[in-house]
Amino acid sequence: MATQTESQFSRYKEEFSSFLTDTWIGYAFVIPATLLLAVVIGYPTLRGLYLAFFEVSLLNPEQMEFVGLQHFRALAADPIFKAALWHTVLLTALAVSFQYLLGLGLALALKEKVPGAGIFRSLSMVTWVMPIIVMVIIFRFMVQNGFGPVNIILDSLGMRTTYWFGEPGVAFPLIVVMHVWRNVPFYAISLLAAMNSIPKEQYEAARLDGAGPLERFRHVTLPQISYVSMIMIVLHVTFTFKNFDIVYLSTGGGPLGNTEVLATYVYKQAFEQYALGYGASIGVVMLILMLTFTVVYVKLEEVD
């Protein structure tokens, strides 16, 4: 009797194990998430691609006229679009470059256990978790004319004071500074984690081969953090290229269009000019540029 009970228990156990390892149960877990992504991401993307080929107003979205590539031809002759594209590329290149280089320098300094490293690690994520609106308010307060700390210092030095976000030549650099200020600590912590995962034996072997600090950094550290670097750069290029909130909240694209970027131009076309189709065509251009960058960068990283 006991033997029969053990046999049944063993059979049930095998059937339950087979049930859990069947492929179809894996699909059962994946399908809901796939459907959710298709609705939340796939439909808006396809809808945006579709609208780019139509003349449609936000006020009368049911009245649509097919115009083919007319919006894209108009973009090629649109000076504001060209300026916004240039500002977007320049902002992305400057912000991501400074973020990575400064973050890498901080990570190397923290790895050498400089004084105050523990405090920095504790406080470093404050800039990352701080809401963007709070960060923008802080920066706008700092450069206010009359009572902002920056202008108080400049006034004490006998230098010119003004509301610096309203200066055409200063507003754009200030936006770059905000991006860098927000993201450098996150770069430093991520790169430091990658550096700490490198086996110490590799550094010892390089040191025995006569490699100095610069050679060890070039031939041991950099190759080992290349994958994390690739992920960080690809993600932040994407985030910065399509960033809307920092620019819109700080300058709104001004003064005189000197900080206009593609994301703010899309918003203005779609929700201020009610030109949904034209705005969608700008979004399609942004999508193509970002997909191209991601594919090329990942391929180059694989070659390296």
pLDDT, position 7: 67
Structure confidence at residue 6 as a pLDDT band (50, 70, 90)? low
Across the strands, what pairs with 66?
54
pLDDT, position 100: 94
Q: What type of residue is 216?
A: R
Three-class SS of residue 149?
Answer: helix
Q: CA torsion angle for 209, 214, 216, 221 (degrees, to 10)?
A: -170
Three-class SS of residue 60?
Answer: coil
pLDDT at 2 over 70: no
**pLDDT digits 0-9 by tens, 14-67:** 766 666 666 677 777 778 888 888 888 888 899 999 999 999 888 888 888 999
**pLDDT digits 0-9 by tens, 81-115:** 999 999 999 999 999 999 999 999 988 888 877 77
pLDDT, position 201: 87
Structure confidence at residue 164 as a pLDDT band (50, 70, 90)? very high
pLDDT at 270 over 80: yes
The predicted model scores a pTM of 0.84
Residue 181 CB-density burial (10 A; 0-12 exposed, 13-18 middle, 19+ buried): middle
**pLDDT digits 0-9 by tens, 207-263:** 888 888 888 888 888 888 988 898 889 889 999 999 899 999 999 988 888 999 999
Q: How far apart are CA 84 and CA 91, in angstroms?
A: 10
